[in-house]
Amino acid sequence: MANGLKGRGRTEEQALKERGERGIRIGHLEYKNGFLELGMLSGNCFVITLRNLRVDAPETVNEVMQSIKTKGFINYYGMQRFGTASIPTHAIGLAILKSDWALAISLLLRPRPGEHTEIEAGRRAFLEEGNLSRALDLIPRRCVAERCILEYYQKSKGRNALEALSTIPRNLRLMYVHAYQSYVWNVVVSERVREHGCEKPVFDDLVYDNDPRENTGMDVDATPGDKGKKPQRGGKRPYVAPKIKVLSTEEDLKSYTIFDVIMPLPGRDVAYPGGQLGERYKEFLRLDGLDPDNLIHAQKDYTLLGSYRKIMHLPAQLSWSTLRYTDPDIALAQSDEDKILGFDPPVVEEHGRFMALQIQLQLGTAAYATMAIREITKMDTSSQTQAVLTQRSEDQKFKGGNEPAVEVEGEGEDAEVPVAEDEDEMLDA
């Protein structure tokens, strides 16, 4: 039951007065003649606080943020699309597309540096000792793909790699394949922006050949099982490939903006841009051992139909403010849950030692806040990099309101969050 009322020993009164588990609260539930599906989301709202901000002048912050507000940012797929481990999800997806089932299994089960000790021990128990029971005892249930494979091996007399992969939930298997499409998209869009910039359309760009407001849905790659499928009662409409226009005249260029330009995720049913970019898609797929002219897979689920994604994203709403603080453990933003519970908002320290930038951001479907932050800071937004920055940050010496006993010269000098002073785009996908 929601908010820990059942199985957590919480009373209804506690649920109404105390924070939910892990800061999560579910509300406004009601019965409907339908269900939620991938692609129904309207967008996301974020409150993001960047601490230990260092800028050469106060106006730099406003200049950079105003640029994002009016010019947007490259609509890259974020790092979380590809996983945070040393073995990225798109590498597993490529192995699946090439029908290299054994490699896909191997990539899923290999140890990953930095994993929790019980997960690493569980992997090694299977790979080095062949002890399936011990591996399953150690690997937690949140490792869904790994457990599905190991449970299959435990129950099956043989070790058929394709059958083992098929025990993984379909949505998770397709996530690996879609990650590969996203990886290709990021790379080719980087080349498009590097070659032509990101301010206006150019010849051979693609746009939707109808009202772009009809194409604001999430760019989820359709699968053969979706094509022609009747909608469930109250569910979303079945996937229909949109009509695409190639910009070929001066009048075309005047009729569209950079926010109309789309690029395809590779697949059977998409149009590719003209010129070198279209060839680059095919070249990239060939180098990875795929046939760009035949993306039909013997396993129906893995046939790529493709979809489209706009190359630039303009925030629906964006506002910001700078704050001062000293103790990095004191909250600077009030969550929606705390507002609902009537908790007092955080008290800002007017003369704090450090500066923070607080951003209120609303993005459309499938846009990544981490990519907006990447454009603001011009730095890696992966969880590993940000964790290292936090550990090295000078403000960590003031945790709990403590004054550091000794100032160590140079400590934390690389840990501040910079704000970019120019508008050059980061093009490395």
Lowest mean pLDDT among 49-53, 94-98, 231-235, 370-374: 231-235
Helix (H) or strand (E) holding 278: helix 275-287
What DSSP line would sit under 376-405, residue for residue? Answer: HHTS---HHHHHHHHHH-GGGGGGGGPPPS
Name the band, by pLDDT with cuts 50, 70 and 90, for residue 240.
Answer: confident
Percentage of the chain exceeding pLDDT 70: 84
Q: Tell me, what DSSP letter sits at residue 212?
A: G
Name the band, by pLDDT with cuts 50, 70 and 90, for residue 412.
Answer: very low
Mean of per-residue pLDDT scores for the chain? 86
CA geometry: angle 420, 322, 78, nearest 5 deg = 50
Q: Please report the pLDDT score of residue 176 as a whole number.
A: 97
Q: Please report the pLDDT score of residue 308 as a whole number.
A: 96
Mean pLDDT of 162-179: 96
Q: Please report the pLDDT score of residue 16 as a whole number.
A: 76
Q: Please report the pLDDT score of residue 222 as a whole number.
A: 56
Q: What is the spatial distance between Cα 81 and Cα 154, in angstroms, rounded to a whole number?
A: 30
Q: Quick check: 264 pLDDT over 60?
A: yes
Mean pLDDT of 368-384: 90
Mean pLDDT of 143-156: 96
3-state secondary structure 79-136: HHHHCCCCCCHHHHHHHHHCCCHHHHHHHHHCCCCCCCHHHHHHHHHHHCCCCHHHHH
Q: Are strands 354-363 and 317-325 parallel, antiparallel or unpaired?
A: antiparallel
Q: Please report the pLDDT score of residue 2 as a whole number.
A: 55
> Is the separation of the CB atoms in 245 and 207 below 8 Å?
yes
Q: Please report the pLDDT score of residue 277 as a whole number.
A: 93
Q: Please report the pLDDT score of residue 30 as a whole number.
A: 87
Query: For 187-210, how does the pLDDT look when each residue is reduced to its tens digit (9 = 90+)?
Result: 999 999 999 999 999 999 999 997
Lowest mean pLDDT among 7-21, 62-76, 102-116: 7-21
Mean pLDDT of 59-83: 94
> Is the separation of the CB atoms in 198 and 258 below 8 Å?
yes
Q: What is the chain's percent helix, strand, coil content, to nearest 5?
A: 40, 10, 50
- Give 29 or 139, the one with higher predicted confidence: 139
> Is the separation of the CB atoms in 365 and 42 below 8 Å?
yes
Q: Please report the pLDDT score of residue 425 as a whole number.
A: 35
Q: Please report the pLDDT score of residue 237 as a whole number.
A: 62
Q: CA torsion sign, 388 to 390 to 395 to 399? A: negative
> Is the separation of the CB atoms in 115 and 85 below 8 Å?
yes
Residue 9, exposed/middle/buried by CB under 10 A (0-12, 13-18, 19+)? exposed
What is the SS3 assignment for 190? helix
Query: For 270-317, how does the pLDDT look when each residue is reduced to its tens digit (9 = 90+)?
Result: 999 999 999 999 999 999 999 999 999 999 999 999 999 999 999 999
